[in-house]
A and B are shown apart, each in its own frame.
Chain A
Amino acid sequence: MKITRRLSSFASKSREASDLLDALVSKDISSDIYRSVMQQLGEKLAENILETKSIPDTNKIQVVCTVEDADFLAKGVIDYLQRYIDSSNIFLTCIWNSKVRDGRVSLSPILKIYDESKSLASDSDKTSIIVVKSIISGACVVKTNLLRVLSSVKDYDDVLVAAPVLLEGAQSRLQDEFPHQIASKFKFFWFATDDQKDGDNVVPGIGGSVYELLNLGDEVSKNRYLPDIVKSRRDKPQSNQPFYTPAM
């Protein structure tokens, strides 16, 4: 198998970013180191985003991630953003996706969502959406999670899609799932594009199954994980008014 990896212009100039990519695929990397590398890659992605001035100063920022990325890649993004942006303007949406594969149909149904942007519903401020994902291959998860976010966020500027590694064609696969007026708002931030897969995994990609490398189990058991970042951020709800409606 001839493996071709292309670095983005940012990664080509950033020795740190390309070293971190190499670290992800190094053999026998411990889960602790892997987690740390992912977090650092998140910081580099945020650096790349801010460098391009893709977020207007007045915007709220909604960082959207999956459960497996929350404590590592997404935390790195948020930590870096908070150095320059008031943390009260940064909102986290963390999503627990399952997987359905049947012939040509592939779905990533949402089992659970932690969504701080609910408090933005009546806010007139514009939102910049940043979707963070450790790797984008078929784009199914990112598509699903974006559909959920775009169903509730009405006033948004660009949709920034940030991932350390993309499989060749991931951008167009994602954009093809949205009408042009939405897809045209997508801006991609990435460090490497790979063009080969071995089974489900992109090679070299991020070194294999991200759930296993992060020591979160497999694609089922990772959904039992409750990220520390979610635990620490979510407030206890004030209301105890049930909205139970008898089934009629």
Chain B
Amino acid sequence: MDKNQKFIDHVKSKYDPGVFAYLGNKRQGGDSGKKGSRYEDNFATYLMCTYIEKFFAVGSESWPSVHDQIVGFVDDLHIESEDELLFFQCKNSKSVSWTTGKHTIAEDFSLQNQIWSELGEKSITTTLVVSCQNLMRLLSSAIPDEIKPHSDVMWFPCLDGRHSALVQTLPDLQQALSSFSRVSNPPLDEMVATFSMLSIAFAQKNPESSIWDIFCRAQDLNPSFMALTSEQLKRVRPNTEFESILAKIEGLTYNFKRGFFAWEWGNTSGIYPHNCLSTDFFSFQTRIIKFKPRDFDELEAHLI
């Protein structure tokens, strides 16, 4: 039985019918609210970036899964790892309160924690995400006591589909993207493209996708902007004949640092848009071996 069904059955059997009806209403609202919910999508992509950064820094055996259509009282985004459950409620509004409305956010957070605790989960965190920094500070200082042990407030800017503005606004996002972009010290356009391609992969994900699955999907997109992992880099074996041809081209320098063929010749530089494990790159090497360019002018025609 999947976890959503377990949650539903538990609420149905152990809670007041009014709570069960409220859960049903939440689901309907969630489904319709999903349309055009770019704030949540951007936030989910941002969170994935921070997890991928950790993976590139220390490696990991298991990757959390990420869910954006979940059953629950805190239902915008859910990250599930072996040892913790994280629930996020995103509120892109200037007026947000813990305690106003028929069903309050505090009540939602409390129910979410209580029910998952009853279902045997140990480490649960509920986080309210808001788009105004002042509001974040206000809400942080006013977290109701009953939910304080498991609740937090985060700021995340609402910039709709403007990924460029988002990346430029968040230094920690830039740092995360730098760790797994296809070039070292990536310029801003590479970081933005990395974020955007990850967001495309997120939109294409399956309900049970792990962050690793989504990252792999992003790696396979064309063009690819995701660096190869250290394990993948071990499999990068540039063809020796290919390299001996390149070595004879005066002034050409290149590297495979992130698993991509990055080249430079004087003031001209570029990156082959498929990683070195791809069939496209294999074909590229084959083409170079076939045509044996003798100088950069001859090579240049093959680089795009």
Write the residues of chain A forming the contact surface with B, with a CB cutoff of 8 angstroms. 96, 98, 100, 102-105, 107, 109-116, 118-119, 143-145, 147-148, 150-152, 176-179, 182, 223-224, 226, 230, 234-248
The answer, among A112, A242, A247, for a CB contact under 8 Å with B276, is A247
Chain A nearest CB: distance from B152 CB in Å?
A: 27
Could you name 16 residue pairs across A and B whose Cβ atoms are closer than 8 Å? A100-B196, A103-B200, A107-B193, A111-B271, A113-B270, A116-B267, A147-B189, A147-B192, A235-B266, A237-B266, A240-B250, A243-B253, A244-B253, A244-B256, A245-B255, A248-B230
Chain B nearest CB: distance from A235 CB in Å?
A: 6
Residue of chain B at shortest CB distance from A94: B268
The answer to whether the Cβ of B188 comes within 8 Å of any Cβ in the partner chain is yes
Contact A105 B269 (CB under 8 A): no
Chain A nearest CB: distance from B282 CB in Å?
A: 15
What residues of B have a CB within 8 angstroms of the CB of A102 in the complex?
200
The answer, among A151, A241, A248, for a CB contact under 8 Å with B188, is A151
B263-304: which have CB < 8 Å to A? 264-271, 273, 276, 300-301, 303-304
Contact B304 A144 (CB under 8 A): no
Check A151/B267 contact, CB under 8 A, given A245-B256, A247-B256. no
Residue of chain B at shortest CB distance from A248: B233
Contact B304 A112 (CB under 8 A): yes
The answer, among B187, B230, B250, B269, for a CB contact under 8 Å with A112, is B269
What residues of A have a CB within 8 angstroms of the CB of B193 in the complex?
107, 109, 144
What residues of B have a CB within 8 angstroms of the CB of A143 in the complex?
164
Q: Could you give, for residues 227-268 of chain B, a 1 whenever the CB lies within 8 Å of some chain A CB and a 0 otherwise? A: 000100110100000000001001111111101000011111
The answer to whether the Cβ of B203 comes within 8 Å of any Cβ in the partner chain is yes
Chain B nearest CB: distance from A168 CB in Å?
A: 19
Contact B254 A236 (CB under 8 A): no
Chain A nearest CB: distance from B51 CB in Å?
A: 21
Prevailing SS type, chain B contact patch: mixed
Residue of chain B at shortest CB distance from A102: B200
The answer to whether the Cβ of B168 comes within 8 Å of any Cβ in the partner chain is yes
B: number of interface residues (CB 8 Å):
49
Write the residues of chain B forming the contact surface with A, with a CB cutoff of 8 angstroms. 38, 161-165, 168-169, 187-190, 192-193, 196-197, 199-200, 203, 223, 225, 230, 233-234, 236, 247, 250-257, 259, 264-271, 273, 276, 300-301, 303-304
A10 to B216, CA, bound (A): 51
Contact A234 B188 (CB under 8 A): no
A235 to B265, CA, bound (A): 10
What residues of A have a CB within 8 angstroms of the CB of B266 in the complex?
234-237
The answer, among A115, A235, A243, for a CB contact under 8 Å with B255, is A243
What residues of B have a CB within 8 angstroms of the CB of A151 in the complex?
187-189
Chain B nearest CB: distance from A1 CB in Å?
A: 27
Contact B265 A237 (CB under 8 A): yes
From B197, B230, B236, B267, residue with most partner A Cβ within 10 Å: B267
What residues of B have a CB within 8 angstroms of the CB of A98 in the complex?
223, 273
A102 to B266, CA, bound (A): 34
Residue of chain A at shortest CB distance from B301: A224
Residue of chain A at shortest CB distance from B263: A112
Check A147/B188 contact, CB under 8 A, given A237-B265, A244-B254. yes
A247 to B197, CA, bound (A): 24
Contact B304 A223 (CB under 8 A): yes
The answer, among A112, A119, A236, A247, for a CB contact under 8 Å with B236, is A247
The answer, among A104, A114, A246, for a CB contact under 8 Å with B161, is A104
A112 to B165, CA, bound (A): 23
What residues of B have a CB within 8 angstroms of the CB of A245 in the complex?
255-257
Check A244/B168 contact, CB under 8 A, given A234-B268, A237-B266. no
Contact A105 B196 (CB under 8 A): yes
Contact A112 B200 (CB under 8 A): no
Residue of chain A at shortest CB distance from B262: A243
Contact B196 A239 (CB under 8 A): no
Contact A242 B254 (CB under 8 A): yes
A105 to B201, CA, bound (A): 11
What residues of B have a CB within 8 angstroms of the CB of A238 in the complex?
251
Contact A96 B267 (CB under 8 A): no
What residues of A have a CB within 8 angstroms of the CB of B270 in the complex?
96, 110-113
Chain B nearest CB: distance from A45 CB in Å?
A: 24
Contact A179 B168 (CB under 8 A): yes
Residue of chain B at shortest CB distance from A180: B165
A21 to B303, CA, bound (A): 35
Chain B nearest CB: distance from A96 CB in Å?
A: 6
Chain B nearest CB: distance from A88 CB in Å?
A: 15
What residues of B have a CB within 8 angstroms of the CB of A240 in the complex?
250-251
What residues of A have a CB within 8 angstroms of the CB of B230 in the complex?
248
